[in-house]
Structure 1
Amino acid sequence: MSARLDSSHRSLFFEHCLLPAGWARSVRVTLAQGRITAVTPGAEALAQDERHLCALPAMPNLHSHAFQRGMAGLAERRGPSNDSFWTWREIMYRFVDRMSPDDVRAIAAMAYVEMLEGGFTRVGEFHYLHHDREGHAFADPAQMSAAVLAAAGDTGIGMTLLPVLYSYAGFGAQPPSPAQARFINDLDGYARLLEGAEAHARALPDAVVGVAPHSLRAVSPDQLRELAPLTQDRPVHIHIAEQVKEVDDCLGWSGKRPVEWLLDNADVDARWCLVHATHMSESETAAVARSGAVAGLCPITEANLGDGLFPVESFLEAGGRYGIGSDSNVLIDAAEELRLLEYGQRLTRRARNVMARGSGHSTGADLYAGALDGGAAALGVKGGIAVGLPADIVSLNLAHPAMAHRQGDAITDSFVFAAGRSAIDCVWRHGDKLVSEGRHRARDRVVRDYAKVLETLIA
């Protein structure tokens, strides 16, 4: 590469940069039209370079319900009986009952600002709030999807939209409850929703639209089969085996466990993301790994809801892939998701460095690489700092007390286990610097709009 850059290009220079092959020093990353056109390790900084100390590839967030950000912290009061996911869900239903499309846009924008500030640059929005307050379809059946896409446009986050098919209240096509009326579609309605969502998504530079049967509770076997033509060349996401009750109910309905039933009745492959998959047998765990499907793990939400712990160690031993998501958005922090993923395994196994892939390996580096690979695959994109990919980059402040004098994998370990999001300095998404000094450029406006909506919804 010549010393003089073409005026249509610009470059970032990092003292330390995590590339696909590992950490490199003195790396110039050249950008044009939002993508990386050159990566040059061992370079000399040029006068026109924007200089930073440290760069990581940004993390994908493979599972989000953005509208739930507005109820974070509102379900932490104990009820008259044992609380669980199911009692939390009733609170969520009451909260969501009043939301308009404008409300959803404002709440989603707040979640997306926090995602970008926390190291996520693309979100898999598992979106099932479709209809008006009476449960009727809008004239544009994708109006609510348009609201979350608009929030992505407002904030700059990359979007993989996953419109959700939700038809029933339980296994065996049980009729939906009145509280679920805003979610419900049949297959014809879902096809119209998907078509509308794709039309709205064209307004964003690199949006992806996938398919999301909500769960085996919420779609019938016939629907799952009939969805197959819509899943070609798209990401396919499904909630599965999140709670013990779900496993027990599935056994009562079909005689099989949820993951077992799904693998027997659908062509699960690398396009699929099985969200949570918390409660699997050893044979199910091995079978999911063989299928190539990504396990969508959401440790903060799974801990908040008391779901349980995914069998990570055996899944990795079988060659499984995973990514992380913020799910209910009760707390949004990429490093915290990774830290809690490892700490859950440590508490269960009474061991340390469980998710490191071998002797001498860095746990933080292996966690980060695994979640980057699986998360990007689940969202229908590629991740990393490499030529041809979107310039989705996070810079870390190596002057942070928890990062001082770190090099190589010690940077990743200290980011994940010690500093967390407080060490994030800048975030570029598609080449656009959206976060500086840890703060999103639209934060003040987004917070004002969010607070105004919450005043109405919580009053």
Structure 2
Amino acid sequence: MQTIWAETALLSSGWASDVRVDVDDAGRISAIETGVPATGQRVPMLLPAPVNVHSHAFQRAMAGLTEKRGPDPRDSFWTWRQLMFRFLDRLTPDHIEAITAFVQMEMLEAGYACNAEFHYLHHQPGGAAYDTLAETAHRVIAASEQTGIGLCLLPVLYQFGGCDGRDLGPGQIRFGNDLERYTALREDAGRLLNAPDANLGASPHSLRAVGREDLAQVAQLFPQGPIHMHLAEQRAEVTEVEAAWGARPVEWALQNMEIDSRWCMIHCTQMTSEETEALARSQAVAGLCPITESSLGDGIFDGIRWANAGGAMAVGSDSNIRIALAEELRTLDYSQRLRDGSRAAFASADKSTGRRLFDAVLEGGAQATQRQAGKLEVGAWADMLTLDTGSEHLWGRKDDTALDAWIFAGDDRLVRDVWSAGRHMVTGGQHRRRPEIVAAYKQTIDALKAAL
């Protein structure tokens, strides 16, 4: 058993002082007391640690390499996508494991306790299956065992190259499965999910990559676990779906799919006001990736309207161009300010901007992964982080004001300790296995130099 004593902690009931948290050997919080003398490991400020709700781990190796102008002067998401396709054709299972471990290490150091990996790189270059059908998913699991991060594995169903059902192109062929092979792959992937806090979901990639009939029955085909899907990310996607299926993506999904609290819809940056409110009422989580959405020019999620309609939200690092929890929250809020000419748009009468955003992504991330976490209370997984209140950026700040200072005036260097289901993986701001993980990542980058 571990005992952590915090000068101040954010509990489900709010801020409390002199807090003792006991963690049992299974990784769950077994007891919480407030107003008690110091004992065990002493920390200044203890917070629940959120879920990174959307990641394509392998793309981390591309970070910073796609900022040159492509052949088309109107460079966009679609030209970036072609670069990504060329890169991923060089990746082996060993590369995938090393890159994923590096990404998960960075997530933990940023304050995330769980990685929801939207995993679609399934097969060999050329599209042939590996001898072990879920070989690359097994490498994601192996990485999580090395890093100690919580894992929600989301094998992705990817069938077509567009809404017209065209064949997958050369860059996409490694993703492809029909429904039967996908089901077998997903079962094979789940076979190695041995950590007690690991979880398996299902992920139809998007409306443009999965057939209408299969999309309509996803919830029945996979009745257990979370379901994640890209939705309404790009203008060209909206145009393609509307032309092929006679409705905008969100409109079609709400009319034809059983969307409820199991679903996490990723991006949703191209929605009308009516679609925003209707999807919020469905109880699905909006999986937002503000840094990647900014990088790719996706657009701005209507966060204020969504929140006012009671919608749940979470954040993820998607392309992993940067893995920065505080920056995701800051970028989300600043996008609303820039669009609307406002300030502190998410703040409420009783909660600051940072507190309201942090509470929202804690709750939304836990819902989107069906993980009993996102809160410091008895019975929850011990997903926790500490902040360095001795830093000049937090000096003299407390409670909600300290959260605001971390998110808007500091960065993730203020994160000192992180536990994932009781596994104390980050101390002093660094992962316990950083040297070996970084060494393997550097070797992988050297092996990929020609592709990069």
TM-score (structure 1 length as normaliser):
0.96
Asked whether the equivalents of residues 104 and 148 of structure 1 are also in contact (C-alpha less than 8 Å), the reply is yes
Q: Which runs of 5+ in 2 are unaligned?
A: none
1:32-59 CA deviation, whole Å, 9 max, x = no partner?
111110011111113xx11010111001
Question: Does the aligned pair in 2 maintain the 1:130–1:143 contact within 8 Å?
Answer: yes
1:296 corresponding residue in structure 2 = 287
- Between the aligned partners of 2:365 and 2:279, the Cα distance in structure 1 is 16
Q: Which residue of 1 aligns with 2:205?
A: 214
What are the Cα deviations for residues 291-325 of structure 1, in whole angstroms up to 9, with x where unaligned? Answer: 10000000000000011100111111111110000
One-letter amino acid of the counterpart of residue 379, structure 1? T
Q: Is the 8 A contact 1:31 1:38 kept in 2?
A: yes
1:182 aligned residue: 174
Q: Match of 1:173, as an amino acid?
A: G
Distance in structure 2 (CA, Å) of the matches to 1:199 and 1:451: 30
Give per-residue Cα distances to partners, 1:308-344, cap 9 Å, x unaligned. 1001111111111100000000000111100100011
Aligned partner of 2:277 among 278, 286, 300: 286
Q: CA deviation at 1:20?
A: 1.1
| Structure-2 residue corresponding to 1:95 | 87
CA distance in 2, matches of 1:399, 1:36: 26
For 2:352, the equivalent position in structure 1 comes to: 362
Verify the 8 A CA contact 2:159 2:178 in the aligned structure 1: yes
Whole-angstrom CA distance in 2 between matches of 1:366 and 1:452: 41
Q: Is the 8 A contact 2:5 2:19 kept in 1?
A: yes
- Give the secondary-structure state (helix, strand or coil) at the position aligned to 2:276: helix
For 2:365, the equivalent position in structure 1 comes to 375
Alpha-carbon contact 1:19-1:384 (below 8 Å) kept: yes
2:160 corresponds in structure 1 to 168
Aligned residue identity for 1:423: L
Distance (whole Å) between structure 2 residues aligned to residue 437 and residue 206 of structure 1: 25
Q: Distance in 2 between matches of 1:151 and 1:405?
A: 39
Match of 1:35 among 28, 32, 40: 28
2:18 pairs with 1:26: yes
**Equivalent residue of 1:402, what SS?**
coil
Aligned to 1:5: none
Which of 334, 337, 355 lines up with 1:346 in the alignment? 337
Residues 197 and 421 of structure 2 are in contact (CA less than 8 Å); yes or no, is this contact kept in structure 1? Answer: no
Cα deviations by residue, 1:406-441 (Å, 9 ceiling, x for unpaired): 111111111111112011111111212111111001
Give matches, 1:189-338, under 5 Å: 189-201=181-193, 203-338=194-329
The answer (yes or no) to whether the contact 2:217–2:257 under 8 Å persists in 1 is: no
| Match in the other structure for 1:6 | none
CA contact (8 A) 1:211 1:230 kept: no
Give SS of 1:51's match.
Answer: strand
Match of 2:103 in 1: 111
CA RMSD of aligned residues (A): 1.0
Which deviations, in whole Å up to 9, do the C-alpha atoms of 1:11-48 show, x marking residues without a partner? 100001011121111000011111110011111113xx
Contact 1:171 1:218 in 2 (8 A): yes
Q: CA deviation at 1:360?
A: 4.9
Distance 1:256 1:217 in 2: 13
| 1:351-377 C-alpha deviation (Å, 9 max, x unpaired) | 101111x23530000000001101110
Q: Which residue of 2 aligns with 1:10?
A: 2
- Secondary structure in 2 matching 1:30: strand
What do residues 71-92 of structure 1 show as CA deviations (whole Å, max 9, x unaligned)? 1111110123211110110111
Find the counterpart in structure 2 of residue 3 from structure 1: none
- In 1, the alpha carbon distance for the partners of 2:280 and 2:166 equals 31
SS at match of 1:200: coil
Further displaced range: 300-309 or 281-290: 281-290
Q: Structure 1 CA distance, aligned partners of 2:274 and 2:319?
A: 29
Distance 1:51 1:361 in 2: 27
- Kindly report structure 1 stretches of 4+ aligned residues shifted beyond 6 Å: none
Check if 1:158 corresponds to 2:150: yes
Q: Whole-Å Cα distance in 2 between the matches of residues 127 and 179 of structure 1?
A: 15
Percent identity (aligned): 45
Aligned equivalents of 1:93 and 1:106: distance in 2? 19
Residue 129 (structure 1) aligns with: 121
In 2, Cα distance between equivalents of 1:254 and 1:289: 23
Q: Deviations over 1:377-400 (max 9, x none)?
A: 001113211101111110111011
Structure 1 unmatched runs, 5+: 1-8
The structure 1 residue matched to 2:132, chosen from 140, 144, 157, is 140
Of 297-306 and 166-175, deviating more is 166-175
Q: Secondary structure at the match of 1:194?
A: helix
Q: Give the TM-score, by structure 2 length.
A: 0.97
Cα distance in 1 for partners of 2:350, 2:377 equals: 26
| Structure 2 contact 216–258 (Cα < 8 Å) conserved | no
Contact 2:76 2:297 in 1 (8 A): yes
Secondary structure of residue in 2 paired with 1:288: helix
Give the SS at the match of 2:228.
strand
1:45 counterpart = 2:35 = no
Task: Quote the Cα distance in structure 2 between the aligned partners of 1:354 and 1:304.
Answer: 22
Tell me the distance in 1 between the aligned counterparts of 2:440 and 2:91: 14
Q: Is the 8 A contact 1:172 1:220 kept in 2?
A: no
